[in-house]
Amino acid sequence: MSSDIPTNSPRERFVFLGSCLVLAAALLVGMAREQQWGTRWVPLHLLSPNADGLRSGQEVRISGIAVGKVQALQLQQDAQVKVTLEVQEQHADLIGPDSVASLGQEGLVGDHFVMISADPQDDQPAARVAGRTLPYEQPLAINNLMHRLVDTQTELQATLRNTTRLTGRELPATLQSVNKLAGTVERETAATTPQLQQTLQKVSSTASSAEQTSRQVQQLLQQSQPLLISTLRDLKQVASSSRRIMQSLQQLLGISVEEIDSGKRGDH
């Protein structure tokens, strides 16, 4: 029994080679798209106090869209970290004098990326952006913040426990003291209320009597004042008339005042 062994024909070989070439071309196109071959890049820089959250190959985003990547990190003589970025030339006009770089993150545990705030410039050539050092805002230290939050929560819980313990121990005694004080005040008020009422009545009657006496004195003064004034006026007139009569008698009798005075002294 004989078996036929198929032989590769030239057509099949050409089909196989063509498939390999197409696959290689697709692979090259995919790699070129992934690596962005042929794209013109604009270099940028930023200075950071440290390299926390920064690494080579990170995305650079503007308005949430990837427009470049982190090229390299280099430690400077002053211990700062110089970060070199590459941004696509077609998006270079979105970076202006007010643009600021910062570090972003996908969610809470996602990858970090460099975010540049947009400051669009009309018809800005890429050469004006190339080599610019952007201001960099250092991200918050999440770990330190979480530690402080945990410490604050622990202190708050301890304070609440102490407050609850103090309230449970001191509040009943305080309420009991307040209750005793209220009872004492109520008893003292009940005992002193009649005496206080009597005292107030006496004070009221005394004030009423004093007010009545004052009114009577005022009325008496008002009534007697004209009489006193008239009597004093009459006495003044009588004294004046007596003086004039004495002077007339002296002139008629020819007696001087000195003789009258000496006669009075001789009688004595």
Q: 99-149 pLDDT, tens per residue? A: 999 998 887 778 889 999 998 888 777 777 888 889 998 876 666 666 677
Measured CA to CA, the distance from residue 229 to residue 191 in angstroms comes to 58
Of 68, 74, 63, the closest CA to residue 43 belongs to 68
Task: Please tell me which residue, 179 or 5, carries the higher pLDDT value.
Answer: 179
Measured CA to CA, the distance from residue 207 to residue 29 in angstroms comes to 116
Q: Count CB-CB contacts under 10 A for residue 124.
A: 15
As a whole number, the mean pLDDT across the chain is: 77
Dihedral pair phi/psi, residue 122, rounded to 5°: -75, 125
- What are the boundaries of each domain within the chain? 39-138
What global pTM score does this model have?
0.44
Query: What Cα–Cα distance (Å) separates residue 162 from each residue in 151, 156, 169, 260?
Result: 17, 10, 11, 113
Q: Is the pLDDT of residue 1 over 50?
A: no
